[in-house]
């Protein structure tokens, strides 16, 4: 004690409400050694509160949010800075002793000014906080893969031909869901792997959904007939032994009908496609169909300065002696070319020509937008809709709004088109939208 009465340490109880989307755990990272000094591999894992306390009059939906808690012994009289994050943790066990976990950050708070307080007294509480919101401002970004982790993305693509085919038509309308299950491998040292949280985190994104945010599927997944273009994302640890299962359910009764298995260890290439059998749940020797999936494996980049939870490095570049002016990034290439906030650069936005001009004018990088056409051609365009003239030979400037994914690339190229925002531009729109492909930009 400093004066005989003041404690040298303060026991701080953190409590936060968070939506983990039924995968992963909440953790804390902060400015002190006890909070990991902002290093993602040294976060403090929190525990889910089985019987949540009072909501402290904060605006929350207790149906989707869970309360998490952790108690940390911090230095007395210190200004503490910290952020919350959602992570997956892979824990080594030697006997019953847990070793230091490997961490993969799933989502993290990215406010420029972190949460702050000063330790005072023997005990303190940080109650009623909500993940992602500081002083009413929401700022959450998807996390990164830590060394030792990888992300597997599986795509079920029904746009051109059915990805799921059944030999037995009597099965009717089925639902499907992807699950991740781990299994232990006990080595000579007696170590075994165990994932903290609930199973292997799996999120899904549906193209037909109004929300572009990846989410956890409901209990029975999605109707097979509704799976236009579903992307499943799974974060696993390279050392982990696990399997991915597509489970199929009867849409009426909810009873399990069949299953398909994928072993991630067998995916030796960075991308490709698989055709795997669908096995009957009543007779495991019987194949009743097949499912074709495309896959992409994303591995981690070991950049310590880019994985620091102190601030949003993925949003902000800092000035250095070697680069005193920071990083210059061209918006949509050389700038916005139409709409109320157009930059009047003379070059059409989201085109290869605009990007070339951005580099000529001194940009270090360029930002551009990509959308998919009906025949899955990635094109450079900002909006999901476009204005199309229904009659090419008509002199009347009459356009209708249409979804880009309702037209093939050739149909769009041969049509008379105009961007939605051009209607509010500073100058009248003439000509057609110049639609460059992503491949042309990369070349």
Name which of 28-42, 160-174, 194-208 the model is least confident about. Answer: 194-208
| Chain position carrying tokens 């040298």 | 8
Mean pLDDT, residues 404-410: 91
Cβ–Cβ under 8 Å, residues 372 and 380: no
Cβ–Cβ under 8 Å, residues 89 and 196: yes
- Residue 188 is predicted with a pLDDT of 41
Mean pLDDT, residues 157-183: 78
| pLDDT digits 0-9 by tens, 372-391 | 999 999 999 988 888 887 76
Given a cut of 70, whether residue 420 has pLDDT beyond it is yes
| pLDDT digits 0-9 by tens, 270-326 | 899 999 999 998 888 888 999 999 999 888 765 555 567 875 544 444 445 555 555
Give the total residue count for the chain: 443
Given a cut of 70, whether residue 396 has pLDDT beyond it is no
Q: For residue 81, what is the enclosing H or E element?
A: strand 79-94
Q: What percent of the chain has pLDDT over 90?
A: 23
Mean pLDDT, residues 247-267: 88
Cβ–Cβ under 8 Å, residues 247 and 231: no
How high is the mean pLDDT of the chain?
Answer: 77
- Residue 378 is predicted with a pLDDT of 93
Mean pLDDT, residues 385-405: 76
What band does 190 get if pLDDT is binned at 50, 70 and 90? very low
The two tokens of residue 23 are: 């995968």
Beta pairing class for 222-223 and 140-142: unpaired
- Residue 345 is predicted with a pLDDT of 64
Of 22, 28, 86, 16, give the one whose Cα is nearest residue 58.
Answer: 16
What gap in Å lies between CA 150 and CA 147, rounded to an integer?
A: 8
- Residue 292 is predicted with a pLDDT of 92
pLDDT: which is higher, 403 or 394: 403
Name which of 52-61, 217-226, 333-342 the model is least confident about. Answer: 52-61
Long-range contacts made by residues 212-219, C-beta under 8 angstroms, separation at least 24? 215/21, 216/21, 216/22, 216/23, 217/177, 217/178, 219/177, 219/254
What gap in Å lies between CA 210 and CA 368, rounded to an integer?
A: 22
- Residue 277 is predicted with a pLDDT of 94
Given a cut of 70, whether residue 392 has pLDDT beyond it is no
| pLDDT digits 0-9 by tens, 119-167 | 998 999 998 899 988 877 777 877 666 766 788 889 888 777 788 888 8
Q: What percent of the chain has pLDDT over 70?
A: 71
pTM of the predicted model, to two decimals?
Answer: 0.56
Residues 6+ apart with CB under 8 A from 375: 160, 408, 409
Given a cut of 70, whether residue 44 has pLDDT beyond it is yes
What band does 343 get if pLDDT is binned at 50, 70 and 90? low
Given a cut of 50, whether residue 1 has pLDDT beyond it is no
| pLDDT digits 0-9 by tens, 230-245 | 888 887 776 566 788 8
- Residue 294 is predicted with a pLDDT of 92
């Amino acid at each position: 004690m400093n004066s005989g009465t003041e404690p040298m340490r303060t026991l701080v109880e953190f409590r936060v409400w968070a939506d983990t989307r039924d995968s992963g755990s909440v953790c804390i990272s902060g400015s002190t050694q006890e909070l990991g000094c902002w290093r993602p591999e040294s976060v403090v894992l929190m525990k889910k509160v089985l019987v949540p306390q009072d909501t402290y009059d904060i605006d929350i939906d207790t149906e989707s949010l869970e309360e998490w808690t952790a108690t940390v012994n911090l230095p007395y009289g210190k200004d503490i800075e910290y952020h919350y994050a959602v992570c997956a943790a892979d824990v080594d066990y030697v006997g019953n002793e847990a070793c230091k976990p490997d961490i993969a950050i799933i989502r993290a708070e990215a406010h420029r000014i972190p949460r702050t307080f000063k330790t005072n007294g023997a005990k303190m509480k940080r109650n009623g906080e909500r993940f992602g919101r500081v002083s009413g401002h929401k700022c959450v970004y998807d996390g990164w893969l830590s060394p030792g982790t990888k992300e597997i993305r599986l795509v079920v693509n029904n746009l051109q031909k059915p990805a799921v085919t059944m030999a037995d038509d009597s099965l009717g309308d089925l639902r499907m869901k992807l699950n991740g299950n781990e299994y232990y491998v006990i080595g000579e040292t007696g170590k075994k792997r165990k994932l903290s949280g609930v199973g292997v985190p799996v999120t899904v994104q549906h193209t037909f959904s109004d929300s572009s945010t990846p989410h956890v599927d409901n209990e029975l997944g999605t109707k097979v007939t509704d799976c236009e273009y579903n992307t499943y994302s799974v974060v696993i640890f390279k050392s982990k032994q696990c399997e991915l299962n597509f489970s199929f359910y009867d849409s009426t009764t909810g009873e399990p009908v069949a299953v398909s298995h994928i072993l991630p260890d067998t995916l030796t290439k960075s991308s490709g496609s698989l055709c795997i059998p669908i096995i009957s749940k009543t007779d495991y020797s019987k194949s009743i169909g097949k499912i074709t999936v495309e896959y992409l494996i994303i591995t981690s980049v070991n950049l310590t300065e880019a994985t620091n939870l102190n601030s949003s490095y993925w949003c902000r570049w800092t000035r250095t002696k070697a680069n005193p002016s920071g990083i210059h990034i061209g918006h949509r290439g050389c700038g916005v070319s139409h709409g109320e906030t157009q930059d009047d650069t003379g070059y059409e936005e989201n085109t290869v020509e605009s990007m070339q001009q951005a580099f000529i004018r001194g940009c270090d990088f360029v930002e551009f937008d990509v959308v998919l056409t009906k025949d899955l051609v990635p094109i450079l365009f900002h909006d999901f809709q476009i204005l199309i003239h229904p009659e090419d030979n008509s002199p009347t400037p009459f356009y209708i709004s249409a979804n880009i994914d309702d037209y093939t690339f050739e149909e769009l190229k041969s049509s008379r088109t105009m961007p939605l925002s051009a209607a509010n531009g500073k100058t009248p729109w003439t000509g057609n939208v110049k639609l460059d492909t992503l491949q042309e930009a990369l070349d």
